[in-house]
Structure 1
């Protein structure tokens, strides 16, 4: 990948959203909406956490950074607006629309909304997420980078594979997750959302179980 290492984290989340977007299934569309929205927040948080040398020398007051990095999505949009004014560039995705996409995302993620995201919402949040990443990290060919990365991916080298033991340990721990009237096993949800998290959490649960067994002996 031609991108610098300090943008790798936000790019991977954007890549994960893009994979689900291209898959196109109902469940994939829900995960794509959530992941594109999350990628906007992560892109901002990561950018503000970088050293100045990785932000082309841009400096921000401590109190401003703390305000922008709090738990509210609206403050991330405030920073995006501020950054565009600082660089004297237009906002390709406006605050009202990004706020709306985030509200739809919250219905999916927090309220278990069963409806599938519309094409307008999904394409809108995708465009916004790609623009935010490209604007902050000054990457002009984000879609090309995504396509190239996807083209070069292979299941054996890039994504952990599922296995029955990991499925069982995750489902025993977390059970079934409900989206409105739709239910999915935790292992399905975790793997669909982040295969690396699936592998890591299963490994952690195995280690916890082993430690508990040893302590009981």
Structure 2
């Protein structure tokens, strides 16, 4: 995963969770994705406001202001609006759109709404979560960080036998009997030591040459 400060891991994990469900492309996944992206926005702002100034570039805020901003979702967006002004930044995602997505999330989570979040609402929540996260925690490319995290958690495909390796190994070693069971040498080696299987197969192919491999091909 792309290196992040430890205090940014919490909101980032919510975005990874949301993205994973979004990619499931089913109704349940879309509902969970909206809830998690929306939660990531609130958690990012909450986390930022509770950091020590040294963890947020020396920025300091009055305790009374922080207490006011921490009241609810809208007051947290109010803090973010002031923060944008201080940094001479503008809304990349319109504030009204973020509030719309948040209210749709509330309908999903609290209101018992049976409908499935539409793609536009999901896109607003996702883009807003990534953008707010990038501003507060100064992450240059949150999309790349998110994509890498998803890749890191994707189960790797198990290795498969390769036909040329099988032919080369079996031509050299044939059938091996274990107990009362016969196995092709390639099958047995692949099962017990995949790196050795690839190493031996590659060496034998190099030794036999292409013409010899064509001769042993069934």
**Structure 1 and Structure 2 fold alike (TM over 0.5):** yes
Secondary structure of 1:44's aligned partner: helix
Q: 1:14-163 counterparts in 2 under 5 A?
A: 14-70=15-71, 72-153=72-153
The CA distance in 1 between the partners of 2:22 and 2:132, in whole Å, is 17
The answer for unaligned runs of 5 or more in structure 1 is: 157-217
The 4+ residue runs of structure 1 with deviation greater than 2 A are none
The CA distance in 2 between the partners of 1:24 and 1:8, in whole Å, is 25
Secondary structure of 2:58's aligned partner: coil
The CA distance in 1 between the partners of 2:132 and 2:58, in whole Å, is 19
Q: Deviations over 1:185-207 (max 9, x none)?
A: xxxxxxxxxxxxxxxxxxxxxxx
The CA distance in 1 between the partners of 2:113 and 2:127, in whole Å, is 23
Alpha-carbon shift at residue 155 of structure 1 (Å): 5.8
The CA distance in 2 between the partners of 1:115 and 1:67, in whole Å, is 34
Q: Could you state the TM-score of these two structures normalised by the residue count of structure 1?
A: 0.69
Q: Deviations over 1:64-108 (max 9, x none)?
A: 1011111x2110110110110011111111221111111111110
Alpha-carbon shift at residue 154 of structure 1 (Å): 5.0
Secondary structure of 2:23's aligned partner: helix
Equivalent residue pairs, number = 155
The CA distance in 2 between the partners of 1:114 and 1:62, in whole Å, is 41
The CA distance in 1 between the partners of 2:131 and 2:154, in whole Å, is 27
The CA distance in 2 between the partners of 1:94 and 1:58, in whole Å, is 25
- What CA RMSD, in Å, does the superposition of the two structures yield over aligned residues? 1.3
The answer for unaligned runs of 5 or more in structure 2 is: 157-218
